[in-house]
Amino acid sequence: MKVIGCQIKGAPGEKYWAALALYYSKFFDAYKEEGINFWAMTVQNEPEKPPLAVSQWETLRLTAEEERDFIKLNLGPLMKKNHPDVKIMANDDQKPGIMDRSAPFDDPESKKYLSGLAFHWYQNIDFILPGAGNYKNLLEFSETYPDMFMLGTEACSGYLPSLVGTGKGPALEDPDKAWKRAQHYARDIIENSNNMAAGWVDWNLFLDSDGGPNWAKNMVDAPILVDEKNGAEFYKQPMFYIMGHFSKFVPPGSKRIEFPKTDTLDDFHRCAFVTPNNQVVMQFLNRDSDEVTFTVKQTDSNTFTLTMPPHSMHTVSDAKTCADDTGYSIYPFTGKPTEEQMPAIWANPTCTGVLQDAIDSDLPDCTIDFEATQLNVRTELTVDATRCGVFESRRKMLRA
């Protein structure tokens, strides 16, 4: 089914818009009766496409001004009355258009019902153009509306045409594609986090081996594929383990520590967090075809050095010398991804808390120095991390 238009009659505040708001409210009522509660909602899925664009998705075309008026005249007041604990997010569309659709956040009457911004990853990601991703739009939004959170609400791989990027459908039989898709996940999660996003949501945690089912025949990929044709087998793909790096070691309530970015290592990504237990977690992604050696130094005495193979992901938690037994890495594989081919990243970290000692000490702050070498270029990065979670950074570039 494809639909042209996807608009609602009348104007916000009128009966059809009121009916839509009531439909949303009754949706939550019905689930609540079954013991299922929701913490948040978005106003509409991908509303920014032109009114006459063809769509095969559940969506409603809204201008930014219509979304603003619907929130303040219909949806916001009704949800506040019937479901005051459900947070409302606006936009729920692609990152390039975030600041062009800021009307709901600029109007105090609509903004008072909003808690955050939702966004998708499908446009201008670096599947085709390296370095793309529109992450600066996230930072601009955060700086403009610091009281609003940002959440990546939809992402998947395997949605592109067959000859573009990693192509269409599942990549279970193609290890190279499967690994590239895992790297896309890791890069997007890291860069979203570095630009103030609060979380990242996969569109499908599992699908069947064809990449479905769905009524739109949009066969894509997922972190877990279930082989429903040949019994109760399922495959955890590299994307699953990439997500595990973040969901295992960065629990809710963690605060990000700034790792300044350097232009000399475009394919080397990093982020760091302090968990609610004051545990320091650092995550590194090397998408380059060469290995990268780097050193992380806390104060003047506590240091570890790690060499990352090409195309690998590594998490270090409460590091002392975590290059081997207390870091958690995944690397490219051959053949179908099986449990035996993936290192056990789920074990608890065993490294002693040297970095944690600095955070828990009486010192006003701690310093983490980061040094990476690659292709005769050396980058020194210094992070001043205050205990209260407010971070300042400085960068010093040196050529070897």
Q: What pLDDT does residue 280 have?
A: 84
Token readout for 222 is 């997922």
Closest to 260 (Cα-Cα) out of 268, 249, 250? 268
Active-site pick, 48, 67, 154, 191:
154
Beta strands in the chain, from DSSP E residues, in sequence order: 3-4, 40-42, 54-55, 87-94, 116-120, 149-154, 199-200, 206-208, 224-227, 233-236, 255-257, 268-274, 280-286, 292-298, 302-308, 312-317, 327-330, 365-374, 377-386, 391-399
- pTM for the model stands at 0.80
Q: What pLDDT does residue 119 have?
A: 96
- Give me the residue spans of the domains in the chain: 3-154, 255-399
Q: What pLDDT does residue 60 have?
A: 87
Average pLDDT across each block of 10 residues of the chain; the chain has 400 residues. List them in order.
66 96 98 97 91 76 96 99 98 94 98 97 66 85 96 92 85 89 93 93 92 90 89 87 90 82 73 86 89 72 78 76 46 42 32 29 32 31 28 23
| Cis amide leading into 96 (omega within 30) | no
46 is catalytic: yes
The CATH H-level superfamily of 3-154 is: Glycosidases (3.20.20.80)
What is the spatial distance between Cα 303 and Cα 90, in angstroms, rounded to a whole number? Answer: 44
371 is catalytic: no
Tally helices (H) and strands (E) across the chain: 9, 20
3-state secondary structure 214-249: CCCCCCCCCCEEEECCCCCEEEECHHHHHHHHHHHH
Beta strands in 20-123, from DSSP E residues, in sequence order: 40-42, 54-55, 87-94, 116-120
Q: 226: buried, middle or exposed (CB in 10 Å: 19+, 13-18, 0-12)?
A: middle
**Residue carrying the six token digits 């570890």:** 304
Active-site pick, 34, 46, 143, 191:
46
Q: What pLDDT does residue 261 have?
A: 63
Answer yes or no: are the C-beta atoms of 205 and 283 closer than 8 Å. no
Q: Quick count: other Cβ atoms within 10 Å of Cβ 377?
A: 15
What is the spatial distance between Cα 320 and Cα 304, in angstroms, rounded to a whole number? Answer: 6
Closest to 153 (Cα-Cα) out of 286, 39, 241? 39
